[in-house]
Structure 1
């Protein structure tokens, strides 16, 4: 089964808002075996909408549309539906009753005519009742394609997807199975990972596809199996993951999209009942932010210091001026002392320190732009590593954050 997703709204096209609806819809469809063939954002223009409908007619099984269902004059989807399906609007009494009750209960005022007009729907449509808003969804068929119109408000769209659309698709369509498995790797770039697993990739069965999803410091490998035999798909995915682990197990940190490096590190710290603190210069608190973003992080993350300036390194972290003058703020010696001092200050088992020149200019440091020192204080020693992550600035910062957590993970695993 194939689907197309259309978002309607000038506010998306001018960059005023980000289209998160399409991502949610695509993920929801994928879980039930519906492949999203294409996503498109279009303007609030009648001809544009009609042309787009015609483009997907009989090319896909399902077209999901979000937006343009509000009560104001610029929301034209319902009228355009009527034109496309040669239909006319009628009042759905059930929707009208719901709209009046919702307005009176929530807004504590009588429903206006503009509110009541939300109950106008094409006479041929199957109404999808929206219990959390006033705009109903609409399900209409033409030849070999179903067109589903949903409100653009995200929580209303999600309600209808979960409670109306997905159950209806599951009931009315026979679909293939789609199984995904994501392997998270850290510490090596996409090209190097691809080189290491080339033979394994070439021997994947034709019903399994591999996708590389790189980002700074990490590469996600997503296996996708599609077919009618669920047991065969699951068995083949499992066997190929085992074979892959034998090849690159040294850089694999997890097997699901949600198993990010900060979650993996958090689990390891909790297992060993250990704690961590941070002292950050070039990363500006991003290591601490990632560590503290995990549920239950208070069990192991005790705090951090963002010592962005030389003055803060001296007055807050207690580094000596002579150390900084001798070695420079971007140096192994400064990174090491930052880690030692914050570990002592926070009374933690581990401490991460970062100092570097993220660019675009050298600033106070003498080190080349892109140079970073990461120090990791452990219960037994202090490890310092030097990197050059090049440019741009955002890449330097992101790779420093990921690399520091990867260093922490490797060190914790030594003590398991």
Structure 2
């Protein structure tokens, strides 16, 4: 049984401020970003695209709310979903990898970073997972990793907000580590 990580805000910075930092870091390092969201329903992409100048690094993404979209578009393993459901660290990791893949065309440099979010915003549990349970995936050319489970308290809106902040925080942390030569 995996222990649940309780949510503790990292700072008083808003999602927008962390997104600004992420965009700045990606610009400085010449890297790009793509997103695949489930429970956040486009909120993460909305936060990223609210940052002036994001178009130089943000390639796009997909809201993969429905399980078949996760499987067919993002190539999340169907056996994994059958065994664990869509609220799982490996699903988030594969969603992040899928985001990188679908935003890279044949004549393009591969998308550098991907984020995947999956979880339960409520009002009811899903796949036997409680409201507030969230997993976040981060992917790069050096691999992918699923983070969580997190448990974000509050309403569905609060769960989504906390997920967006945590996803951006984790991406910022991983981008900084990569610039220091540490891979996922």
Q: TM-score per shorter chain, which class?
A: 0.7 to 0.9
1:296 Cα offset (Å): 1.3
1:357 Cα offset (Å): 0.7
Contact preservation (8 Å) 1:330, 1:366: no
Kindly indicate whether residue 25 of structure 2 is the aligned counterpart of residue 268 of structure 1: yes
Residue number in structure 2 paired with 1:385: 147
Distance 1:399 1:284 in 2: 13
Residue number in structure 1 paired with 2:4: none
Deviations 1:370-406 (A, max 9, x none): 1000010023121211101122111110000000000
Structure with bigger RCO (C-alpha 8 Å, 6+ apart) = 2
Distance 1:261 1:329 in 2: 27
Q: Relative to total residues, which structure has the larger strand share, 1 or 2?
A: 1
TM-score scaled to structure 2, two decimals? 0.83
Distance 1:264 1:396 in 2: 22
What aligned pairs does 1:294-309 form with structure 2 within 5 A after superposition?
Answer: 294-309=51-66
Contact preservation (8 Å) 1:351, 1:378: yes
1:339 Cα offset (Å): 1.1
Distance 1:391 1:272 in 2: 36
1:321 Cα offset (Å): 2.5
Residue number in structure 2 paired with 1:405: 168
Distance 1:299 1:397 in 2: 26
What aligned pairs does 1:236-255 form with structure 2 within 5 A after superposition?
Answer: none
Residue number in structure 1 paired with 2:35: 278
Which of 338, 345, 352 is matched with 2:115 structurally?
352
Contact preservation (8 Å) 1:359, 1:369: yes
Kindly indicate whether residue 138 of structure 2 is the aligned counterpart of residue 376 of structure 1: yes
Mark the runs of 5 or more structure 2 residues left unpaired by the alignment: 1-6, 105-110
Kindly indicate whether residue 76 of structure 2 is the aligned counterpart of residue 316 of structure 1: no
Distance 2:140 2:113 in 1: 5
After the TM superposition, which of the residue ranges 267-276 and 317-326 deviates more from structure 2? 317-326
Deviations 1:111-162 (A, max 9, x none): xxxxxxxxxxxxxxxxxxxxxxxxxxxxxxxxxxxxxxxxxxxxxxxxxxxx
Q: SS of the residue aligned with 2:128?
A: coil
Distance 1:325 1:401 in 2: 26
Larger Rg: 1
What aligned pairs does 1:338-349 form with structure 2 within 5 A after superposition?
Answer: 338-347=95-104, 348-349=111-112
1:342 Cα offset (Å): 1.6
Residue number in structure 2 paired with 1:219: 12
Residue number in structure 2 paired with 1:123: none
1:292 Cα offset (Å): 1.2
Which of 366, 383, 386 is matched with 2:128 structurally?
366
Distance 1:279 1:343 in 2: 9
Mark the runs of 5 or more structure 1 residues left unpaired by the alignment: 1-186, 190-216, 221-256
Residue number in structure 2 paired with 1:70: none
